[in-house]
């Protein structure tokens, strides 16, 4: 299939941007972003029924109308999206697949980063978070090698502290309770 779905068409007119969250878990982050930014359309990808049900409850409770859901692997949706059609993308606390034989399952890999680079608009942000330092090194290694992305960190505090406009997730809270300090990485899509 030729990619070409313009995600703006999934929402009511007047949006300023479309953001994509991959694996939204319980949905607290995407729901908070949607409430804070009613001018932005958000697409959430989550294949697990419990996560979908949790987010649907938050949408209903908050009377949120700027979220659309994809209940399968995000890569399937990404394959259909038009070039440069996403203005911000989130990958927050993905499964690190810690065993070496499972590393091929990690979302951050050359093929997926190529797909992200294709769908992200010039200047768009790619926001990633993890509490697994081995996966953090993996993310940094792969993203630093990719010519389409530039790390926005100017110093250590830029990746040690979550930005104010980035709501906490249950996975971050759990990591902190268990004594793990998350890393928050922000990359920008360089101009084509």
Instruction: Please give the model's pTM, rounded to 2 decimal places.
Output: 0.94
Q: What is the CA radius of gyration of the chain?
A: 16
Residue 2 lies inside a defined structural domain of this protein? no
pLDDT digits (tens, 9 = 90+) for 34-78: 999 999 999 999 999 999 999 999 999 999 999 999 999 999 999
Q: Please state the domain count of the chain.
A: 1
28-36 and 49-62 helices, crossing angle to 10°: 30
Residue 80 lies inside a defined structural domain of this protein? yes
Predicted local confidence at residue 103, as pLDDT: 86
Residue 91 lies inside a defined structural domain of this protein? yes
Q: Which of 65, 71, 95, 114 is catalytic?
A: 95
**Neighbouring residues of 17: CB distance < 8 A, sequence distance ≥ 6:** 39, 40, 41, 87, 88
Residue 1 lies inside a defined structural domain of this protein? no
Report residue 3's pLDDT band, with 50, 70 and 90 as the boundaries: confident
Residue 71 lies inside a defined structural domain of this protein? yes
Is 39 in the active site? no
Give the rounded percent of residues in the chain with a pLDDT score beyond 90.
83
pLDDT at residue 97 tops 90: no
Residue 25 lies inside a defined structural domain of this protein? yes
Separation CA 171–CA 161 (nearest Å): 15
- Cα–chain-centroid distance for residue 124? 12
Q: Which domain holds residue 102?
A: 7-189
Pseudo-torsion of CA 102, 106, 110, 114, nearest 10°? 150
> What CATH number does residue 37 fall under?
3.40.50.150
pLDDT digits (tens, 9 = 90+) for 19-39: 999 999 999 999 999 999 999
């Amino acid at each position: 299939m030729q990619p070409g779905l313009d995600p703006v068409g999934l929402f009511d007119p007047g949006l300023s941007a479309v953001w994509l969250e991959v694996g939204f878990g319980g949905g607290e982050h995407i729901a908070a972003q949607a409430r804070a930014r009613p001018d932005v359309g958000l697409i959430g990808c989550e294949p697990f029924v419990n996560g979908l049900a949790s987010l649907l409850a938050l949408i209903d409770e908050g009377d949120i109308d700027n979220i659309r859901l994809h209940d399968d692997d995000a890569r399937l949706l990404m394959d259909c999206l038009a070039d440069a059609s996403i203005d911000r993308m989130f990958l927050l606390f993905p499964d690190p697949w810690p065993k070496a034989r499972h590393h091929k399952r990690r979302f951050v890999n050359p093929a997926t980063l190529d797909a992200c680079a294709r769908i992200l608009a010039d200047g768009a942000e790619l926001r990633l978070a993890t509490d697994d330092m081995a996966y953090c090194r993996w993310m940094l290694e792969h993203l630093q090698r990719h010519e389409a992305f530039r790390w926005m960190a100017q110093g250590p505090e830029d990746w040690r502290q979550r930005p104010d406009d980035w709501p906490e997730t249950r996975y971050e809270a759990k990591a902190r309770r268990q004594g793990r300090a998350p890393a928050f990485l922000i990359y920008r899509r360089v101009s084509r």
